[in-house]
Amino acid sequence: MQSVKLVSEQLTPSKVVCVGRNYTAHIAELNNETPDQMVLFNKPNSAITGTLLSTHNNDTLHYETELCFVIKNKKIAGVGLGLDLTKRTVQSKLKNKGLPWERAKAFDSSVILTDFVDLSDAAQHFTFELKINDKVTQQGDTHFMLHKPEQILTEISEFMSLEDGDIIMTGTPSGVGEVKRGNTFTVSLYSNEKCLLTQQWVAQ
């Protein structure tokens, strides 16, 4: 089982719960409809990895940078960032047929996460960015989320139990694209202009 780090504590998620279509600009760039209710899907523990892959089973992968929260005692306990890796071509085919997304979203090594920092107030303002080879590629801001963190937690908890270590990924802003082998991905998280964390991966 894969684990995540909250300060000095190791936690083992039973699952990663993901929010889809949570930024209007990202909905537009993929020509999707704005949903009437929150779009949610799960990734298993086996999706968590420490290695950023550019392909999986010969399928090209796309990156989606997301603000993430780790759960402890049924509450949001820590904040970090993650890349939701997606088989975009596979996903498009599944969506066109009205089929579930798991083959495009829940495969092994489809989530790479930073460490998590302690969080006392999930309602605070967060911004984040992804740089690829030092060029800013994605920028996120909780002000532009359709569903805010505490609202997401409440809605998930209405029908699904969240265990200690479970991760919530809150959706991606615009700017998604293909993961290319050898590129350096650097993510940074800010709260009130203070940098909370930075982490870097080189795509394999």
Instruction: Say how far apart CA 164 and CA 159 lie, in whole Å.
Output: 17
Q: Is 182 exposed, middle or buried (0-12, 13-18, 19+ CB in 10 A)?
A: exposed
Among 32-41, 44-53, 65-74, 77-86, the range scoring the smallest mean pLDDT is: 32-41
d(CA 89, CA 13): 28
pLDDT digits (tens, 9 = 90+) for 137-165: 999 999 998 899 999 999 999 999 999 99
Instruction: Quote the distance between the C-alpha of residue 47 and its chain's center.
Output: 12
Domain of 113: which CATH number?
3.90.850.10
pLDDT of residue 32: 62
Is residue 3 classed as helix, strand or coil in its secondary structure? Answer: coil
The answer, yes or no, to whether residue 121 has pLDDT greater than 80, is no
- How many domains, the chain? 1
Bridge partners, 127 (sequence order): 141, 190
pLDDT at 26: 56
Round to whole Å and give the CA distance between 94 and 96: 5
Mean pLDDT over residues 30-55, rounded?
A: 86
Instruction: Pinpoint the alpha helices (H) of 79-178.
Output: 88-96, 102-105, 149-157
Longest dimension (CA), the chain: 45
Residues 6+ apart with CB under 8 A from 26: 171, 172, 173, 174, 176
Confidence band, pLDDT 50/70/90 cuts, at residue 201: very high
- Give per-residue burial for 30-63: e unless 16+ CB within 10 Å, then b: eeeeeeeebbbeebbbebbbeebbbeeeeeebbb
- Token digits for 60? 């090209």
pLDDT above 70 coverage of the chain, percent = 93
Query: What's phi and psi for 88, nearest 5 deg?
Result: -65, -40
Q: Specify the pLDDT at position 35.
A: 65
Q: Which residue has better confidence, 165 or 33?
A: 165
At 195, the amino acid letter reads C
If one counts every other C-beta atom within 10 angstroms of the C-beta of residue 88, the result is 18
| Full residue range of the structural domain in which residue 143 is found | 4-202
Mean pLDDT of 55-70: 97
Band the pLDDT of 36: cuts 50, 70, 90: confident
Q: How confident is the model at residue 27, as a pLDDT?
A: 55
Q: What is the pLDDT at residue 21? A: 77
Report pLDDT for 183: 98
pLDDT band at 111 (very low <50, low <70, confident <90, very high): very high
The residue-averaged pLDDT of 130-134 equals 98
Binned at pLDDT 50, 70 and 90, residue 58 comes out as very high
pLDDT, one tens digit per residue, over 178-191 is: 999 999 999 999 99
Please state the rounded mean pLDDT for residues 54-75: 97
